[in-house]
Amino acid sequence: MSERVEDHRTGRVDDSDDNENGTGSKINAKMKKLAHKEKSVYEMIDMLNEKLEKRMLKFTRREDYCSDDLNPDVETTYKDLLTTERKELNEGIEESLGMGGRRNSMLFGAGGGFHSIEDEQARLARAFTIPDPSRLTWRDPHNVPTEAGRRLESTFTSFLQAEKSGRKKGMGGSQSIKKNPEERKRDRKDMERILYSNSDHHSSRAANNLRYELPEAVAMAVRSSVVRGSGSVRVGGLESTAAASSVDNLLSSSLGPSLAATESSRVRFTFDAKFADPYDGREKWPIPLGGYDMKPKLLLELACEKMTLPDGELVLKKLCISKMARNIYVYMYWYVHCRFFQENSDVEQQYLLSKVAAIYTTMLSSRSLEANKDFFFMHFPFVLSQAIILGFKYLCPGNQSLFTASFKNILYLTAAQLLSGVDVCPGSVSFIRHNMFPEDVMSDDLESNTLPALTFGGAGGGGGG
């Protein structure tokens, strides 16, 4: 027994031995608690090791079953394995539910155990459900945002918006969500950088110093037809009279009523679209195709990136950079060059326009364009005109002063009338152009927008720049 010494003067009792025993019991309690924690940690480690071993075994078994699926001699399939695993899972749940409330509480979460297999299956379904992507955030507030980080965040934002809204129904089918303005601006800068770099190789080239000439075989056929007085040149031939009539109808309507009286005196060309390929080597272009020179696809892509439409941009861009559209661009570019910068080029213009007509009628009658024909027919002339203007800007930097706002207005009107076959009024062309290319129109506001009278039968071959 511990001795209790009482001080009669103060009435205090000396229980120092009891204090020592109390301190020892506290230490023992802490040691027991620490041992319990240590035991719990070891049990947790053993449980994790057991789970990892089971999972490794499951992965190995699944890999074996996947290999067996490729072996025709093995009857079991991966589907059989999934059925077996599902059965084992249900049996494990039943066994866990029979261990009592405390065990269930430890296994399935605090607050009591589950009382049915359906509850546990529902819990597992929630546990393995992929979280909502719109609630995930990849951001470290301690790091300074970089340009690469902004691009990555922009990509994630676009992806999440597309996932949230689904695939957007565009013209004639489904299409992905449009790129955001920052992405489009960055793409335009990249394309312009390439074109500016290429233009450094021909910084003194001027449009009025270039001269387009007919291929030698075509020139000989033209001279022969003039000698015979037939006024008709058939190059490559047409496979059917229907195709020939469609080309002739497009040409006659595109040239306008002012040429009705003089049409019989002109040389007429007929082509099959397969003989209208600017890359076939028959043409000797004043500006070569490819390399540091003319890049039709890049120019059309840049024109599409400058375009603004409420809907259908991706569909229109896909059609505008197709092979036929690129071929139309090459011939149309040189037609515009001959019309505005090359004197005495009536025959060359007729030849190039016949090429455009052959390709364009074939393209409009193609099956791939059926669902979007009206949409393409309305907007393609404006994309083509924008690409031609960009072509003059980057391919002929020696006389930029010629490419004024008035020249652009005339070019847009010319392309719209030629490719639509309709005598479109300038106001309609300006309205559509303003809606499709607002930035381009704003940059031209400082210049005069007066549109001079345009007569197709007038100085068609003159060098009226």
424 and 319 share one domain: yes
297 and 194 share one domain: yes
Calpha distance 303→230 (Å, rounded):
41
95 and 229 share one domain: no
Total domains, the chain: 2
C-alpha count within 13 angstroms, C-beta hemisphere, residue 160: 14
289 and 210 share one domain: yes
Residue 457's pLDDT is what? 43
Q: Which residue has the higher pLDDT, 166 or 78?
A: 78
Give the tens place of pLDDT for each residue, 359-386: 999 999 988 888 889 999 999 999 999 9
341 and 223 share one domain: yes
322 and 192 share one domain: yes
Calpha distance 209→55 (Å, rounded):
76
Asked whether residue 310 is domain-assigned, the answer is: yes
274 band by pLDDT with thresholds 50, 70 and 90 = low
Asked whether residue 58 is domain-assigned, the answer is: yes
Closest CA to 215 of 331, 96, 84: 331
55 band by pLDDT with thresholds 50, 70 and 90 = confident
Give the tens place of pLDDT for each residue, 323-373: 999 999 999 999 999 999 999 889 999 999 999 999 999 999 988 888 889
Give residue 393's identity as a one-letter amino acid code: K
Lowest mean pLDDT segment, chosen from 191-195, 397-401, 429-433: 397-401
114 and 240 share one domain: no
100 and 228 share one domain: no
Range of the domain at 98: 28-67+77-125
Number of Cβ within a 10 Å radius of residue 319: 23
310 and 190 share one domain: yes
Number of Cβ within a 10 Å radius of residue 184: 17
